[in-house]
Structure 1
Amino acid sequence: MPYILVLYYSRHGSVAQLAEALAAGIESVAGIEARVRTVPEVGPGFDKAIDTIPDQGPLYCTPEDFAGAAGLALGSPGRFGNMAAALKYFLEQTTSSWINGQMLGKPATVFTSTTTPHGGQESTLLSMMNPLLHHGMLITGVPFSEPALHSDYGGGTPYGVSHIAGEQHQNLSAEVAKLATGQGKRLAHYSLRLLNDH
């Protein structure tokens, strides 16, 4: 069965909650499934060797998981208005997929969470789009036809769903969860339509 890769990095669990909501939206569409994956920590004090089985949570993503996906949902917390280093490090290892055009014409979407309301959510989402555009992927977002985009002040954005976690790393609001589920469902529909066109 074709799958959409839900690839994310999460330090405190908020981005992981968004990933689960997007995956639920994908899984609600018949004929396609969600493959949820994460990436290991990078930087001083962390072993750069990527194990295939982390201590807990989803498996670490492999180049094969990435290249074989029918679509991609990419998530990261905001780091000074940019994606987290761990996710960027993984994407920098996808040169082979880029050279071979393995992601060309596949749909992609992005999502994020920050601690503060002005934590650079939209620039973080845009930073995740850059490598996907280089891969030739088709970027989808959250259209303003989504009522929750107008009613919720704890996240949103047309660039992709976002969440304001606060210092206590609060759970997703009902509106944000609904936006994330809808974003996953929309990505699944686009992925199937593009698969059927080829």
Structure 2
Amino acid sequence: MLGVGFFVLFVCVWAFFTLGGFVSPTFLASPNTMVKEGYLLFTEFNFIHDIGMTVWRVFGGFVLASLVAVPLGIAMGAWKPVEAFLEPFVSFCRYLPASAFIPLLILWAGIGETQKLLVIFIGSVFQIILMVAVIVGGARKDLVEAAYTLGANSRGIVSRVLIPGAAPGIAETLRLVLGWAWT
């Protein structure tokens, strides 16, 4: 209840300053105007369609990034040669803003939906790869050694020890990066 109180106070102060004439409507609209215009966005300007397209783009790009990044991250975390090969490139690209790729993506993919999905993909894929690699690489060594002792091969270690042990961390990584995909 106390949390709602802040928003009620905020709207009251906002209404006081805008409806009381302390702030010009040119610079800050009143709460009444905001509600009316918000209603018009949904009823006359099909704003719900725009929201749906945004959600589709973000989830589409994120799912594609996850499908590529999770296996690569597992491979990097499980096998050191794969990590040595991919890590420098992935680490470099991880810190590049996705918006820096927009001019290239416009040239390569045009200005349609593909380009927009690729921006989300690029903004997510490198983050997921490295975070999954760290989680898989941090698996408990005693479990890995026990599996080797019991006769497991490299593939069995990955499928029966590393992936099940890393699954909660991978799910947490995907949840975190999905939030980043919206930015």
Q: What is the TM-score normalised by the length of structure 2?
A: 0.31
TM-score by length of 1: 0.29
Q: Rg: which structure is higher?
A: 2
Query: Which has a greater percent of strand?
Result: 1
